[in-house]
């Protein structure tokens, strides 16, 4: 069974890159464009992993992360943060979940697939 990934990304061009990077892999993926939409999708079909952009319109990624990790039903979902900013700019998110992986945009397909394999097996 393929692993389900929820990509929370509001910029179409970045999502297009995810589509290219995940093409011809065993991963299935869905897209949410903001944190509110993502919560609805998570409730309906719990993903195996979330890729989260931190700069979102409706709900900031950090706020989304805090709410998600405060719910025992979702605390175990692994998360990869994808941001154009350095992880040093977001030190506080690692207090929410020290197991987060941070990928600084732009990143390569090889790097993304390496992290997905490490988190999902």
The pLDDT value given to residue 59 = 76
> Does residue 102 carry a pLDDT above 70?
yes
Q: Where are the alpha helices (DSSP H) in the chain?
A: 12-22, 35-44, 61-69, 93-96, 109-120
Q: Take residue 97 and report the two structure tokens written for it.
A: 């979940």
The residues, ordered by sequence, that sit 6+ positions from 113 with a Cβ below 8 Å of its Cβ are 21, 25
User: Which pLDDT belongs to residue 91?
Assistant: 67
pLDDT at 93: 76
Report the domain count for the chain. Answer: 1
CATH of residue 64's domain is: 3.40.50.2300
Give yes or no for a contact between 29 and 18, defined as CB atoms under 8 angstroms apart. yes
Q: Report pLDDT for 56.
A: 81
Average pLDDT, the chain: 90
Q: What pLDDT, on the 0 to 100 scale, is given for residue 55?
A: 84
List pLDDT tens digits, range 30-49.
999 999 999 999 999 999 99
pLDDT on residue 97: 83
| Domain limits for position 84 | 4-120
């Amino acid at each position: 069974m393929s692993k389900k990934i929820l990509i929370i990304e509001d910029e179409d061009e970045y999502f297009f890159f995810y589509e290219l990077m995940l093409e011809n892999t065993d991963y299935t993926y869905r897209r949410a464009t903001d944190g509110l939409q993502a919560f609805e999708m998570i409730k309906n079909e719990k993903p195996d992993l979330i890729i989260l952009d931190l700069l979102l319109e409706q709900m900031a990624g950090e706020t989304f992360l805090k709410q998600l990790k405060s719910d025992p039903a979702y605390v175990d979902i692994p998360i990869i943060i994808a941001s154009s900013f350095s992880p040093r700019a977001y030190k506080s998110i690692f207090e929410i979940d020290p197991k987060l992986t941070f990928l600084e945009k732009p990143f390569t397909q090889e790097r993304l697939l390496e992290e997905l394999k490490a988190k999902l097996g």
